[in-house]
Chain A
Amino acid sequence: NAGVMQNPRHLVRRRGQEARLRCSPMKGHSHVYWYRQLPEEGLKFMVYLQKENIIDESGMPKERFSAEFPKEGPSILRIQQVVRGDSAAYFCASSPFGGRRETQYFGPGTRLLVL
């Protein structure tokens, strides 16, 4: 499967725990974007990363959320001390060059449920 891969597909956490969401971009893509979709809403941009660099994190909540895209391995979106309002679908997208007007291809998402 050459598409964007995300795991886990479903994640259940209790309030106060940590959630780690992983994203492997399409083969040949080195630019990764994370979006969040709350129930009955559209997707909202969170962060844009290139290998080992955060390019744009203007959509990231200031606290508890962090993202990385190491030289080797998948991109990780980390949510510390989760709260019920973090329950959402988290989608990762990738593109090859990060250029202007470049299509972003999405993974299947991780559905986070905070109890």
Chain B
Amino acid sequence: DQQVKQNSPSLSVQEGRISILNCDYTNSMFDYFLWYKKYPAEGPTFLISISSIKDKNEDGRFTVFLNKSAKHLSLHIVPSQPGDSAVYFCAASPNAGNMLTFGGGTRLMVKP
């Protein structure tokens, strides 16, 4: 049973446009959410996080939105750049414990 789902395995966006990556979760015990970016043959790199007490967190070109009632979060990248092309994972942490539960990833391709 997948507790964190990224339903779009891939997304293609034109350079300069907005990229929106989505993530859904089922476990009500999750209260901290993170986005990681991963290039081939490398480890995940932390991008941005959000606590369940917030509904938005922004860091430069990256903004994460959290809708707790819908158990949905999204990552917005504006403007998208070719260097953003990578696999993006959302992850969730429960209010008791430190383990991260990851989604299956979305491959973002930003075309020049």
Contacts and interface: CB of A to CB of B under 8 A. Distances in A.
Nearest to B101: A45
A70 B24 CA distance: 38
A70 to B, nearest CB: 20
Contacts of B44: 43, 91, 106
Interface in A59-115: 59, 91, 95, 98, 100-109, 111
B25 interface: no
Interface string A2-16: 001010000000000
B89 A42 contact: yes
A4 B97 contact: no
B52 to A, nearest CB: 9
A48 B36 contact: no
A33 B99 contact: yes
Contacts of B31: 101
A101 B99 contact: no
Contacts of B45: 106
A101 B32 contact: yes
Interface residues on B, range: 20 to 34
B100 A45 contact: yes
A27 interface: no
Contacts of B91: 43
A56 B36 contact: no
Contacts of B34: 103
A113 to B, nearest CB: 13
A98 B98 contact: yes
Given A45-B101, A48-B98, 9 more contacts: A31-B98, A33-B99, A91-B44, A95-B98, A98-B98, A100-B98, A103-B46, A106-B44, A109-B43
